[in-house]
């Protein structure tokens, strides 16, 4: 069984230490100009509060970075990278087999064991080590947002033990039937039925709300309704469809729910009766079947993944190619046997199988993609003349 522990850092962006940031940048061996720039950028920062006509005095801001600034993602990534580097070394020295995933300040521990008691002890030790390291960096874990969840393929899972974190200042975590994390809704067997139901119901309620658009004389025309459905409603229903749509996966339940949603949308577009023929209504509304639409956008997404740089984590998971500068990853497809690859189902396998459909000479980091080096930038007069002759 797989156990996960999600935790969050309290006030991560406002709590970054300005004195520690230049030291981290210097440790990363950046250029001296970059170190000097950030050192001056973080010194003597002030803020002021406005409320209607009232304006407060200037306050010194010696810590933190603004979330609206263009430099805050770089500073936050530089600040948190040594923390997880030290954490991985500590867990490795303590021989705690726990994996770490981090999305800026939202992080995740993953432990795998046949016994949930052993998994809980691993998660407890990892959380304790993380809390002590973050305190040294001036950061604190937010105990109110800690969640634990268990994944299992068993038919029935009984006696799920809670995770007691009272010894390290945390709460007693009780596992739930579903887990919502970063917009995804997980269940124990990774079937994603709750995820599909949630976003399908959200689209149906959106269709009901869009009915109020229009004025007192006439409502929206058919072309406008179809455009709203394709651009605003359908992307909500298919949010992160890669989680449940891939090769050799049962699609009876997702397609049934999505077909019902598209039927409601087609009836709203044409304004027909509920008893109208479904295929005819969808054809007149110009909506292709949902299974064909999923196949189309899935193929495009798989091909688009090959335009990423070679050091991207998805490319490191794929099978190495003789023409690519492949980076070894312990969980890549190269480390699997033939029988293991045949039993695996997922988007990574589909992505690797469609590699031959991509031109091997495509370079995503070519200079022609840089601003100022586009063809329209190099030959602006030619494009102007062609546009003039077309007119």
Residue 203 · residue 216 · CB < 8 Å: no
* Separation between Cα atoms, residue 174 and residue 181, nearest integer Å: 16
Taking only the tens place, the pLDDT of each residue in 135-167 is 988 888 888 889 999 998 877 766 788 888 888
Taking only the tens place, the pLDDT of each residue in 254-294 is 999 999 889 888 888 888 887 788 788 888 888 889 999 99
Average pLDDT for 117-139: 91
Q: What percent of the chain has pLDDT over 70?
A: 90
Alpha helices, DSSP H, located in the chain = 20-27, 32-41, 72-93, 116-136, 193-210, 222-228, 234-237, 252-270, 278-285, 290-304, 313-317, 338-343, 347-353, 375-378, 380-390
Q: Domain 2-17+63-186 falls in which CATH fold?
A: Alpha-Beta Plaits (3.30.70)
- DSSP assignment, residue 328? P
- DSSP assignment, residue 179? E
Q: Is the pLDDT score of 386 beyond 70?
A: no
User: Among all chains, which residue has been given the structure tokens 């959200």?
Assistant: 202
Average pLDDT for 339-347: 79
Domain boundaries, the chain: 2-17+63-186, 192-289, 308-391
Predicted pLDDT at 109: 93
Residue 33: φ, ψ to 5°:
-65, -35
User: Among all chains, which residue has been given the structure tokens 């002890």?
Assistant: 121
CA dihedral 114, 115, 120, 121 (to 10 degrees): -100
Residue 63 sits at the vertex; the CA angle it makes with 58 and 65, to the nearest 5 degrees, is 90
């Amino acid at each position: 069984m797989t156990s996960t522990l999600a935790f969050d850092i309290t006030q991560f962006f406002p709590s970054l230490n300005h004195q520690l940031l230049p030291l981290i940048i210097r440790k990363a061996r950046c250029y001296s100009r970059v170190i000097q720039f950030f050192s001056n950028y973080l010194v003597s920062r002030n803020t002021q509060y406005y409320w209607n006509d009232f304006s407060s005095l200037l306050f010194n801001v010696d810590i933190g970075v603004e979330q609206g600034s263009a430099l805050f993602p770089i500073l936050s990534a530089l600040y948190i990278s040594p923390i997880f580097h030290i954490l991985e070394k500590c867990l490795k020295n303590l021989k705690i087999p726990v994996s770490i995933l981090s999305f800026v300040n939202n992080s995740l521990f993953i432990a795998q064991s046949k016994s949930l008691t052993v998994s809980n002890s691993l998660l407890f030790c990892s959380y304790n080590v993380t809390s002590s390291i973050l305190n040294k960096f001036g950061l604190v874990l937010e105990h109110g947002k800690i969640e634990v969840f268990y994944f299992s393929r068993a038919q029935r899972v009984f006696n799920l033990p809670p995770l007691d974190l009272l010894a390290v200042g945390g709460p007693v975590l009780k596992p739930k039937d579903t887990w919502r994390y970063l917009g995804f809704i997980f269940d124990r067997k990774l079937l994603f039925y709750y995820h599909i139901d949630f976003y399908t119901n959200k689209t149906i309620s959106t269709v009901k709300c869009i009915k109020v658009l229009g004025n007192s004389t006439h409502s929206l025309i058919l072309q406008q309704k179809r455009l709203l459905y394709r651009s605003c409603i359908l992307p909500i229903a298919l949010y992160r469809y890669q989680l449940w749509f891939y090769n050799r996966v049962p699609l009876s339940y997702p397609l049934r729910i999505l077909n019902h949603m598209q039927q409601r949308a087609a009836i709203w577009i044409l304004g027909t009766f509920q008893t109208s023929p479904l295929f005819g209504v969808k054809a007149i509304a110009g909506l292709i079947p949902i299974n064909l639409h999923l196949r189309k956008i899935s193929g495009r997404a798989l091909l688009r993944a090959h335009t990423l740089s070679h050091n991207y984590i998805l490319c490191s998971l794929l099978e190495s190619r003789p023409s690519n500068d492949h980076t070894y990853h312990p969980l890549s497809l190269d480390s699997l046997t033939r029988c293991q690859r045949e039993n695996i189902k997922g988007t990574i396998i589909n992505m690797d199988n469609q590699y031959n459909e991509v031109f091997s000479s495509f370079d995503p980091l070519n200079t022609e993609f840089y601003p100022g080096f586009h063809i329209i930038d190099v030959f602006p007069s030619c494009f102007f003349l062609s546009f003039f002759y077309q007119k």
